[in-house]
Amino acid sequence: MRSTFFPRRSALLLAVALILSACGMGGGSSGGDQAADAPAGTEAGGELSGTITFQTLQLQPTFTDYINGVIADFEEQHPEVTVEWVDIPFEGAAQRVITDASTGELPDVINLNPDFALPLAVQGTFVNMDEAAADIRDQYVEGAWNAFAYPQLGHGVALPWYLSTEVTMYNADHFEEAGLDPETPPATFEELYANATTIAERTDHFGMHPAMENRLLIDWAKLGVPIVNEDGTEATFDTPEAVAYLEQLTTFYEQGVISPDSVTETHTDEIEAYQAGRIALFPSGANFLTVIEENAPDIAAATRVGPQITGEDGVPGMSVMGILVPEATDNRAAALEFARFMTNAENQLAFSQIVTILPSTLESLEDPYFTEVQGDDAEAEARRISAEQIENAEVLRPVVVSEEFNAAVVDRAEAALLGQVTAQEAVTQAEQAATEVLERSAAATGR
C-alpha cells in the first residue's frame, strides 16, 4: 500500500499490526499440499518435484492467460512439479496474509508489496534472498531490490517483480485555456506550483490535488527532507523545507488553487477528480492512463504526459511488487526456482507488454520495446519516460513508514491547511506523533 501508483485500499493495517503483535508467528507447513511430502530439498542441479502454491494480488482476470502461460512453461521444464495458482483480491489481502502467517497457511511462493510484507518480514517469515539468490541479484533494478531490504533485517527478502513509476499527467485543454504551452509540462516543484496557480486563476478548474495521504511524505523525500533517521527509530522531518511545503499548500487552499474538499481526500479521489476534469495536473503512475481511458475517454484524449517532478537530486520515485518465499515452505527448492522463473527477464518483458508497467530486470529494460518507442500517444510517451526514469528510481517512502505513521503525519498536515495550527506547529507535532508510532511498533516487534 506504500505504492503511490498501485491502488491503495487498505485502512486496516493498524489493526493487523496489533493482531500480529498479539500472536506469535506460528511456523508450520503450508496447507493442503500433501504431494510435497517427499523431501524436495534437493539443491540446484537435482530434479525438483512436488506441488507448490503461488499466490498473487488481484491479477485475475486481466492476466489470467499470462500467468497460466508462465506456469505451464515452468511445469514443462520441471515435469515433476505442479504449481497451483491462487489469486486473492487486494482488498483485505493484508489481513488474509497475516492470518495465514499466524496459522501456518502461507503459500510456498507469494506476491506482496513492501507494505504488506513488512510486518511479517521483521519476524523472519521470509527466505533471505541476498543469500538464496545472490547469483542473480545484480540483474534487478537496485532500488527495487532495496525496497524489500528492511533496515531491521539488513537483507532483502524478495525478488523484485513489476514496477511502476510516476509520470506527470496533465490536461492539455486546461493548459491552453489558461494560456500555457500544452507541450511544456512542469519539471520542477516551482514550475508545478506556478502552472497550478495560473490554471486556477484563469480557468474554472483547480490546478492540482494534494492527495496528502498518498503524496506528502514522498514529496518531502523528493525535496530532500529526511523522513526518518538511519536506523528507522525516530522521525526527523521537522525541517524548513517540510514547513515551506505545507505553507505552500496552505496558500493554495486559501487561494482556491486546490479544492477545499481535497484537503482530506485520497489518491482515489484524485483520480476521480482528474477524470471529471476538475483538476489540470495529475502526477501519478503511468498505469492510470488505462483507467482514465476506460472511464473518461474525453479526458484521456486531452491528456499529455511529462516526466516525473523530482527534487534537486533528481531521484525519481517508484513503487514495487515482489515475489517472496516463506521460510515455512516445505518445498523450498521448487519455490525458489519458480520465484526466479516468474521474475526472469524474458517473462517480465512479456508481462510489461500487456499493460503499462515496468519490468524489474535490467535486461528487459534494454529491449527496443522501451528504448525505441513507436507512436506518439500518451501511453507510448509514458512508457518511454518511465523506462528512462526507472533505473535510478528508488522507493522514496522509507520502508519503516507504516500506514499508522503516515496517518499521524497527514492528520497534522490537514490541521495546518485548515488553519487550525501553523505549518511549523503541525510539522513539530507530526514528528513527535510519528516517532511515537515508530517506538510503539519497535516495542511490539521486540526489537
Partner 1 sequence: MSATTAPPRRSAQPPAVAPARRGGGRGRRWVGIALRYALLLLVLVITVGPFVWQLATSLKGAGENLFANPPDLIPNNPTLENYAAVAQVVPLTSYVRNSLVVAVASTITNCLFGAMAGYALARMRFRFRGAVLAVIVATLVIPFEVILISVFLITRSLGLVNTLPGVVLPTAVTALSIFIMRSGFLDLPREVEEAGQVDGAGEWQLFRHVALPSVRGQLAVVGIFSFTFAWDDFLWPLIVLRDPANYTLTVGIQFLSGTFSRDQAVIAAGTMMIAVAPLILLFVLLQKQFFRGVGEGAVKG
Q: Name the helix (H) or strand (E) containing 50.
A: strand 50-57
Say whether residue 240 binds partner 1 (CB under 8 A): no
With respect to partner 1, which residue has the nearer C-beta, 100 or 337? 100
With respect to partner 1, which residue has the nearer C-beta, 16 or 387? 16
Q: Name the helix (H) or strand (E) containing 319.
A: strand 318-324
Considering only the stretches 75-83, 94-102, 117-125, 333-341, report the one whose residues sit in contact with partner 1 under the rule CB under 8 A: 94-102
- Return all residues near 37 (Cβ < 8 A) that are at least 6 apart: 50, 330
- Give the cell for residue 169: 499527467
- Answer positive or negative: Cα dihedral of 322, 327, 331, 336: positive
Kindly report the length of the chain.
447
Looking at 21, 82, 99, 198, which residue binds partner 1 (CB under 8 A)? 99
Looking at 34, 42, 60, 68, which residue binds partner 1 (CB under 8 A)? 60
Say whether residue 244 binds partner 1 (CB under 8 A): no
Looking at 1, 2, 4, 6, which residue binds partner 1 (CB under 8 A)? 6
Considering only the stretches 52-60, 67-75, 302-310, 322-330, report the one whose residues sit in contact with partner 1 under the rule CB under 8 A: 52-60
In the complex, the smallest distance separating the C-beta of residue 299 from partner 1, rounded to whole angstroms, is: 7
Residue 400 has what DSSP assignment? T
Looking at 168, 275, 329, 386, which residue binds partner 1 (CB under 8 A)? 275
Pairing of strands 81-88, 50-57: parallel
Q: Cα separation of 218 and 226, whole Å?
A: 11
Give Cα 165 distance to the centre of its chain: 9
In the complex, the smallest distance separating the C-beta of residue 45 from partner 1, rounded to whole angstroms, is: 33
Looking at 137, 155, 278, 440, which residue binds partner 1 (CB under 8 A)? 278
Considering only the stretches 206-214, 274-282, 342-350, 399-407, report the one whose residues sit in contact with partner 1 under the rule CB under 8 A: 274-282
Residue with cell 515452468: 74
* Binding flags for partner 1, 18-47, as an x/- string (CB under 8 A): xx---x-------xx---------------
Give the CA dihedral 21, 26, 30, 31, nearest 10 degrees. Answer: -100
Number of residues that bind partner 1 (CB under 8 A): 48
Question: Which residue in 112, 108, 46, 43 sits closest to 82, CA to CA?
Answer: 108
Q: Residue 19: is it exposed, middle or buried by C-beta count within 10 angstroms (0-12/13-18/19+)?
A: middle
With respect to partner 1, which residue has the nearer C-beta, 103 or 188? 103
Q: Cα separation of 283 and 121, whole Å?
A: 31
Considering only the stretches 60-68, 115-123, 173-181, 257-265, report the one whose residues sit in contact with partner 1 under the rule CB under 8 A: 60-68
SS3 state of residue 418:
coil
Residue with cell 523431501: 39
Q: Cα separation of 156 and 90, whole Å?
A: 23
Say whether residue 193 binds partner 1 (CB under 8 A): no
* Binding flags for partner 1, 283-322, as an x/- string (CB under 8 A): ----x--xx--xxxxxx-----------------------
Residue ranges that bind partner 1, judged by CB under 8 A: 6-7, 12, 15-16, 18-19, 23, 31-32, 57-63, 86-92, 95-96, 98-99, 102-103, 105, 272, 275-278, 287, 290-291, 294-299, 355-357
